[in-house]
């Protein structure tokens, strides 16, 4: 043996006094401590392993570069565990772990700035804290289906990580688990009850949906996510533990903490009427759309977000471009929301009208869109009556035919545009002849 049991015992005793943790470890804090007594230690392919009676432990790979492949066994012993910080290296680009490993360790890949991919063992139940902290080149991670817990800062600052599908059996996420990554989509499994602080802060989501099973969303959970345009909470009683703009916002700061993104955060919240989200959305001045409200088709608001603004005008112009090139046919909903002047067409005039109303509101106008449009319609009706009398000698009857022609002209001026559309309608009415019969003397 390279290390006697007596020496190992003395070393373990000293380290236990000086380094023993103050509190019991949870699964996500698991660390394979140095004072664990190894029976032997070997180097294989520039990787050091500690050997025990029934298993081997990956001890250190710091000298390795490029691809690292851990074998399933060393000297006939299955490799089942990894020592804390075992893969710390700036030169490792990929790691392949065998399924014999049943437990990872905290900080196992901390600082592996060149690591792009890792194959995790299928049988692990948790990913410990700081396991992949600072792996800024890691692009994708396949989390095994049996994982139920992801520890604190497990993937913190993995700034190239765009995809990480959470397994269905996941029950617990710890704070900052995926903070400062580049995630574009998010699925939250049915077993998760809480989204802790900073859990998904600083990502590239465009839509976030919090499912019914989530009971609590802590402060700072989704801060510094400037691309989010849709935030949905399906649990009307979900405990949102702060002001909504302290939970989700578009702030972006540099390394010194100074803001670098000063653009307005354009996010619409979707939830149920009377919900916690509705209350906090209004307080934070975020747009809110009720999921339990029947869809209302509002003239001038094709986006259906409850506001008539430049976005709606742009939407109408896009529809005009689409329909004018025969790329589609307007639906009844399209006409109900986008044909604002009701001339049977969706075109630039409609978009200009919406922009004019938006400018009117921006200048503190208070009229509704319908009121804004109403004064622009005037109708003039001219009626001409023509009477023709015909006398028939044989019957001494007088036949009178009365014809009336009504001409109706409607002129509509589009508000704020100076454009006038005119429609003329002509109606002709003919009265049946009146016959005067001869007198008969009795």
> Residues 369, 399: one domain?
no
Judged by average pLDDT, the poorest of 166-170, 225-229, 389-393 is: 389-393
**Most confident option among 25-29, 231-235, 282-286, 395-399:** 231-235
Query: Cα–Cα distance between 217 and 194 in angstroms, integer?
Result: 6
> Residues 330, 341: one domain?
yes
> Residues 352, 392: one domain?
no
From 342, 360, 375, the end of a domain falls on 375
Burial class (CB in 10 A: 0-12, 13-18, 19+), 211: middle
Banded model confidence at residue 33, pLDDT cuts 50, 70, 90:
very low
Provide the residue count of the chain.
Answer: 442
Domain range for residue 421?
A: 376-431
For residue range 114-133, what is the model confidence (pLDDT) as tens digits? 999 999 999 999 999 999 99
> Residues 329, 371: one domain?
yes
Give me the sign of the Cα torsion angle 59, 62, 63, 69: positive
Percent pLDDT > 70 in the chain is 73
Query: Cα–Cα distance between 56 and 79 in angstroms, integer?
Result: 5
> Residues 398, 419: one domain?
yes
Domain annotation covers residue 340: yes
At 284, list the tokens.
């934070």
> Residues 387, 353: one domain?
no
Mean pLDDT of 191-210: 96
From 375, 390, 406, the end of a domain falls on 375
Domain annotation covers residue 124: no
Domain annotation covers residue 203: no
Mean pLDDT of 328-337: 83
Domain annotation covers residue 412: yes
From 359, 375, 391, the end of a domain falls on 375
Domain annotation covers residue 48: no
Number of domains in the chain: 2
Q: Tell me, what's the pLDDT at 219?
A: 93
Judged by average pLDDT, the poorest of 2-16, 171-185, 315-329 is: 2-16
58 Cβ contact list (under 8 Å, min separation 6) = 47, 49, 70, 79, 81, 82, 83, 86
Q: Tell me phi and psi for residue 267, to 5 degrees.
A: -120, 135
Say if residue 204's pLDDT is above 80: yes
> Residues 314, 369: one domain?
yes
Domain annotation covers residue 241: no
Domain annotation covers residue 224: no
> Residues 370, 380: one domain?
no
Q: Tell me, what's the pLDDT at 266?
A: 85
**Most confident option among 83-92, 393-402, 431-440:** 83-92
Percent pLDDT > 90 in the chain is 55
Q: Tell me, what's the pLDDT at 297?
A: 80
Judged by average pLDDT, the poorest of 89-93, 180-184, 387-391 is: 387-391
Domain annotation covers residue 392: yes
User: Which one has a higher pLDDT value, 125 or 242?
Assistant: 125
């Amino acid at each position: 043996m390279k290390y006697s049991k007596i020496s190992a015992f003395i070393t373990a005793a000293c380290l236990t006094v000086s380094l023993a943790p103050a509190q019991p470890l949870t699964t996500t804090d698991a660390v394979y401590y140095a004072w664990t007594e190894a029976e032997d230690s070997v180097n294989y392919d520039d990787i050091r392993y500690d050997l025990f009676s029934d298993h081997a432990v990956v001890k250190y790979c710091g000298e390795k570069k490029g691809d690292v492949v851990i074998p399933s066994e060393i000297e006939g012993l299955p490799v089942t565990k990894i020592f804390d910080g075992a893969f710390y290296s700036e030169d490792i680009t990929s790691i392949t772990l065998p399924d014999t490993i049943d437990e990872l360790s905290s900080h196992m890949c901390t600082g592996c700035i060149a690591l792009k991919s890792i194959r995790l063992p299928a049988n692990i139940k948790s990913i410990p804290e700081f396991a992949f902290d600072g792996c800024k080149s890691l692009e994708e991670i396949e989390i095994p289906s049996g994982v139920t817990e992801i520890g604190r800062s497990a993937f913190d600052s993995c700034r190239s990580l765009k995809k990480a599908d959470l397994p269905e059996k996941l029950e617990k996420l710890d704070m900052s688990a995926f903070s400062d990554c580049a995630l574009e989509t998010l699925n939250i499994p049915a077993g998760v009850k809480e989204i802790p602080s900073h859990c998904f802060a600083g990502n590239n989501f465009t839509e976030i949906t919090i499912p019914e099973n989530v009971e609590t969303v802590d402060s700072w959970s989704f801060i510094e996510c400037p691309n989010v345009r849709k935030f949905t909470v399906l649990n009307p009683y979900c405990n949102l533990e702060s002001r909504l703009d302290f939970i989700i916002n578009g702030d972006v700061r540099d390394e010194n903490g100074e803001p670098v993104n000063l653009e307005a955060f354009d996010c619409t919240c979707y939830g149920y009427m009377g919900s916690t989200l509705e209350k906090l959305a209004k307080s934070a001045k975020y747009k809110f759309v009720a999921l339990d409200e029947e869809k209302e088709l509002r003239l001038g608001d094709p986006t259906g977000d409850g506001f008539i603004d430049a976005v709606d005008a742009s939407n109408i112009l896009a529809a005009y471009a689409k329909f004018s090139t025969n790329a589609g046919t307007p639906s009844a909903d399209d006409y109900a929301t986008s044909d604002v002047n009701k001339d049977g067409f969706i075109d630039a005039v409609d978009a200009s009208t919406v922009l004019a109303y938006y400018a009117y509101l921006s200048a503190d106008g208070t009229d509704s869109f319908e009121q804004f449009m109403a004064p622009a319609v005037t109708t003039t009706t001219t009626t001409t009556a023509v009477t023709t009398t015909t006398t028939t000698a044989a019957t001494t009857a007088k036949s009178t035919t009365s014809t009336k022609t009504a001409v109706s002209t409607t002129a509509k001026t589009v508000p704020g545009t100076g454009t006038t559309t005119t429609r003329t309608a002509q109606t002709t009415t003919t009265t049946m002849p009146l016959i005067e019969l001869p007198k008969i003397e009795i």
